Structure 1
């Protein structure tokens, strides 16, 4: 993730006055209040544009910050535009191996990854890595960041061995360059755990997530949101191995931390309610599952624009519970809402598009509409075959 500046206050249109807006924006960003963060970053940029030359490095910081907020809000084309503006200024004003260019390539890669354009994401992250390899020592933590980001793309593509290889490279650098209880080590153990989880290696996943949690418990305050992330991951593993009481316990711990440390409309709270809903669904507690998923949806409606992919995820989850409860007309309505959002916010070949097509097909099959079901199933398979490796587990 790009570095974000946090500095001090002055007045009117002097460049330093932009820093007060950047400081405010950073607080809003960290607490998940993305609309307010965006307003403050845009005000800072406006001041800088009035008072600085058009290729001044401070402008790149603002464009990158605005891009990060848009990416978190699901405004991917706007995010890409902002990061590309930052990169263009850097290419004019800095030597080609300057580390700041790597930050912009890194951010562009993150957006392409969010959009499901994995080849472009890989290309951008590899450019960032190449610059860092040329300009930084071999054990610099920024190299670990690039390896982690490349690992994330391979994980999303379903190429788990390659993802694991890059995550392990990142971890090796961090073990050389950081203290043993540094939070970045916990993130790498968490990433490794996610890959093992995706590969179905649940004992290894649990071990990695527990290592991450131990580091976080040593290095972070007890209500730090990163602890919630580890509890969340451990809960997902227990859910997958059918240990639902343990899964529920860990997801509730994650929720409690998030309730104590984040504003009530923060998207991470929605993630916890979503996961709790999934466990209750697996335990056949359908009314409670529905309630949890509806809470997640309510939070996401408050914190994201109406076409954000996470809203589609909530509609899908609610639809799945209605489908199990044989409320087929309601299930179909929610799945169609999910599909509509993803059609607006994701490229046509994004792998996540396959889920609502598959779910709509499932409802039609349950309703006896077999020809309709077949059409939707075929569409889901076509998307999967176009966007994922042939040996991907979901195919």
Structure 2
């Protein structure tokens, strides 16, 4: 655990720790911030990661390799919070630093391209999302091999983009292969398995296999609840997809309950314009109108 009281105040006597000590401190602060994000506390994660980034910049310079990890993790945090422009600037900064310092094909860049693809996907810019996601797969596969779980994770991110582009069967086939790797590597109850199941359920739904989709999404939700807790903001997307299935089956009460829960886990955590939060509120408004119309028709 990092003892932050050891960081000297401005008026303290000069203190110049060895570079390795500062690197360790930056790494620990970055890990702590990432842990806060994974726990769903985006404001605390942002604060901790900004502190790590500031320390890295002060110790090693604005364009040092050492700024890459806190900068990348901060970008992920802001993306999850719906602050896409800020996240994009951070990812681009990391990419530029790593390409200049390590070379354009260095394995460290795979994670950056993975995140750039995911951000472009979240923003709806699929023309930028697919090449970035493919670049991540190419770099990672060259470094680690086709069957490595990190390569599988990149393939899963690419499959999500392919799904959004309407190539449902291609996406589903790729996601099943990723699921096999993750279940073998991590076990059936791991968070990464839940993420793949969510995307697989989305692909199955888009291909018209609604029953299969409901099963994959329900399993994803169950794993996320056990791993992340019942109020984690990451549950929202899966809740929304399950709600849509309920709504189209005519179960307006069930759909309303799921959308309300999704809206609840996002409220106050993500930006007001976050697309999933807006989707929840629009769906709830539509369902309320539908229920009023149904009530009037029955009178």
Normalised-by-shorter TM-score class: 0.7 to 0.9
Which of 73, 80, 83 lines up with 2:91 in the alignment?
A: 83
Shift of residue 220, structure 1, vs aligned partner? 2.9
Unaligned runs of 5+ in 1: 1-5, 287-395
The residue number in structure 1 matching 2:7 is 11
Which of 170, 177, 183 lines up with 1:169 in the alignment?
A: 177
Shift of residue 73, structure 1, vs aligned partner? 4.6
Q: Does 1:127 align with 2:141?
A: no
Question: Is the CA contact (8 Å cut-off) linking 2:57 and 2:64 kept in structure 1?
Answer: no
Question: Is the CA contact (8 Å cut-off) linking 1:25 and 1:37 kept in structure 2?
Answer: yes
The residue number in structure 1 matching 2:56 is 48
Instruction: Deviation per CA, 1:172-207: give whole Å up to 9, x if none.
Output: 322332212222222212111112333443222112
Report which stretch shifted further, 10-19 or 103-112: 10-19
- Closer/same/farther in 2, CA of residues 91 and 273 from structure 1, 3 Å limit: same
- Closer/same/farther in 2, CA of residues 27 and 185 from structure 1, 3 Å limit: closer
Shift of residue 265, structure 1, vs aligned partner? 0.9
The residue number in structure 2 matching 1:139 is 147
- Closer/same/farther in 2, CA of residues 8 and 60 from structure 1, 3 Å limit: farther
Which of 251, 265, 270 lines up with 2:268 in the alignment?
A: 265
Q: Does 1:152 align with 2:148?
A: no
Which of 108, 132, 153 lines up with 1:100 in the alignment?
A: 108
Instruction: Deviation per CA, 1:9-34: give whole Å up to 9, x if none.
Output: 34148635556754664466446665
Query: Matched residue pairs, number?
Result: 275
The residue number in structure 1 matching 2:246 is 238
What is the TM-score with the length of structure 2 in the denominator? 0.75
RMSD: 3.5
Following the alignment from structure 1 to structure 2, what is the Cα–Cα distance between the partners of residues 31 and 177?
23
Q: Does 1:71 align with 2:62?
A: no
Shift of residue 48, structure 1, vs aligned partner? 1.4
Question: Which structure 2 residues correspond to residues 276-291 of structure 1 after superposition, within 5 A?
Answer: 276-284=284-292
What secondary structure, in the 3-state scheme, does the structure 2 residue paired with 1:158 have? coil
Instruction: Deviation per CA, 1:88-142: give whole Å up to 9, x if none.
Output: 2222443655432101111121222233332221111111101111111433221
Following the alignment from structure 1 to structure 2, what is the Cα–Cα distance between the partners of residues 265 and 75?
14
Which of 202, 208, 212 lines up with 2:210 in the alignment?
A: 202
Question: Is the CA contact (8 Å cut-off) linking 1:87 and 1:104 kept in structure 2?
Answer: yes
Unaligned runs of 5+ in 2: 9-15, 271-275, 295-299
Following the alignment from structure 1 to structure 2, what is the Cα–Cα distance between the partners of residues 85 and 67?
10
